Chains A and B, each alone.
Chain A
Amino acid sequence: MTAMPIPPPPRFRPLRLLNYLVLLLVLGLIISSLAATAPPLDKVWRGVMRLFSPSGLFTQMFPPDFSRIVPISWKLLETLQMAVAGCFLGLILAVPFAILATDRLSPHPVVRLGARAIIALFRTVPDLVWAIIFIIIVGLGPAAGVLAIMVDKIGFAGRFFAEAMEESDPGPQDAMRAIGASKLGMIVSAVFPACLPSFTATSLFALEKSVRGSAALGLVGAGGIGVELKVAFDLFNYDEALAIILMMLALVIAVEQGSGWIRRKLI
């Protein structure tokens, strides 16, 4: 070989002025944010020490008080039921929203934009805010919680369902179109089977998210175990509060383990 070997290119591209400016801006944002909001260390330290003092929160929490385990368990069941009901309704309603939001399936780009906007709105507004809105509409209690979870799940699953359908192989869909299948026929018989694993995974994640979310909804009065927790804190029954937290934790872990197991089985 007589030809000169071609030298490798430099490892990093030289930074331009614009890159420096962007870098400076990002650094400035991080530092100013920390300075404005991060708690001073000594304050954190004193707070933590207070938690463990004889009259502190942690000390009073132990040992957890399970004496009201039966009524708390019922509330926990209500929490799970709210999660399941809201998640179910949300997943069902997410499908049409997702179809309208999918490029290839949407009847018109304007419809698609609208569907995307609604899904984004549902996802962006936190479920606690939805709960407050629905308490105004249907009053205190689990119904408001179910509706809040439903709307939150339309936002969550709508996005991921649409993404899965967007990414699915267009070949079988075009083939169905060429056969002369109706749009609905094409969606149900060609799109859904291909997206089934991803739909299942999303649904299970949605259920986990619903269970975690529904535990908190009671704090604003939308039913479930959150009410019990709020009352326990309000009455300074910190040992009972710990018992409630532990039971919530057990429920969430059980649901997450269960759905993880199903996910592994199915995919």
Chain B
Amino acid sequence: MNTPLAHAVEEAGVTALAPVLSVSGLAKSYDGRVILQSLTFALSERQSTALIGANGSGKSTLLKCLVRLTEPTAGRIDMLGQDVRALGPNELRRFRAQVGIVWQRHNLVPRISALSNVVHGVQARMSGPRSWFQALAPATVRAEAMSCLERVGLADRAMTRVDSLSGGQQQRVAIARMLMQRPAFILADEPDASLDPQTGEEVMALLLGLVRQDGLSLLMISHRLEHTLRFSDRILGLTQGRITLDQPTALANVTDLRRFFEHPETP
């Protein structure tokens, strides 16, 4: 596995890669209250980027704006070669299908099996009754769902109801469902937040593995300094809706970072 440092050096040397995500002048306000203001940054492919910042600094809002789960107020977003803000409703659906999201809460559908939940991921590219539950799914879809579960180490729990799994297992099922989407880009909003330290670390390692082995791009929010340092190639720091830090993880200064994990700064 590449070390973060090797990646940073590589990035410094090779600038040819087109950015997989580029954001310029992105702004968001809720009822006149400014949450994000003129954010500009670009991420290159096959990288893990950590987004850090105090509570309420606008991290989740930024993630949601990227796939227009909330509509940005201004700015331009280019992601996976598409002008995101110009997409019509159907194009937006197809675009979202390519972006896997891991939420802080797993957001699985209760009362049904892990396998059915993973099969739901296929709704990114097919619809109709055969994508609704594992029992109705085509053999190829079921097989792919099983291999996604295997990837997160839960193949043996395929038929267990998700609400009877542990928090860490549920988060892994959510990651398996996201893999079922065959995403090109992963957004993760504090995937480690509700997990104990070791389980959280496993989940983060799983996500980083997708970047290193499968060449996906990852933008993740974490409230843990150790995770930020260990599982990212690059760090973006947000303070009151502005980017106040943007550097390769290998070059990051721990005392600099620490202030992003402490109290919200007073203006």
Residues of chain A at the chain B interface (Cβ within 8 Å): 169, 171-172, 174-182, 184-186, 188-190, 193-194, 196-197
Residues of chain B at the chain A interface (Cβ within 8 Å): 67, 69, 93-97, 99, 101, 103, 105, 107-112, 116, 120-121, 123-124, 127-129, 131-133, 174, 177, 181
* A175 to B109 Cα, complex, angstroms: 9
Instruction: Please state if A180 and B108 are interface contacts (CB–CB under 8 Å).
Output: no
* A197 to B181 Cα, complex, angstroms: 29
Find the A residue at minimum CB distance from B121. A179
Q: Tell me which of B69, B96, B133 contacts A189 (CB under 8 A).
A: B133
Q: Tell me which of B105, B123, B128 contacts A179 (CB under 8 A).
A: B123
* A169 to B121 Cα, complex, angstroms: 19
* A186 to B129 Cα, complex, angstroms: 11
Q: Tell me which of A172, A178, A184 contacts B127 (CB under 8 A).
A: A184
Given A185-B132, A189-B132; 4 other pairs, CB 8 A cutoff:
A174-B107, A178-B67, A179-B97, A180-B181
B95, chain A: closest CB distance, angstroms: 8
* A110 to B177 Cα, complex, angstroms: 35
Find the B residue at minimum CB distance from A180. B97
Residues of B close to A179: CB separation below 8 A: 96-97, 101, 120-121, 123-124, 177, 181
Residues of A close to B105: CB separation below 8 A: 171
B30, chain A: closest CB distance, angstroms: 17
A-B contact pairs, 12 of them (CB 8 A): A174-B69, A175-B107, A176-B120, A177-B96, A178-B99, A178-B101, A179-B96, A179-B97, A180-B95, A181-B127, A186-B123, A196-B111
Q: Tell me which of B107, B111, B112, B123 contacts A185 (CB under 8 A).
A: B123
Instruction: Please state if A185 and B69 are interface contacts (CB–CB under 8 Å).
Output: no
Task: Indicate whether A180 sits within 8 Å of B93 (C-beta atoms), given known contacts A174-B69, A189-B133.
Answer: yes
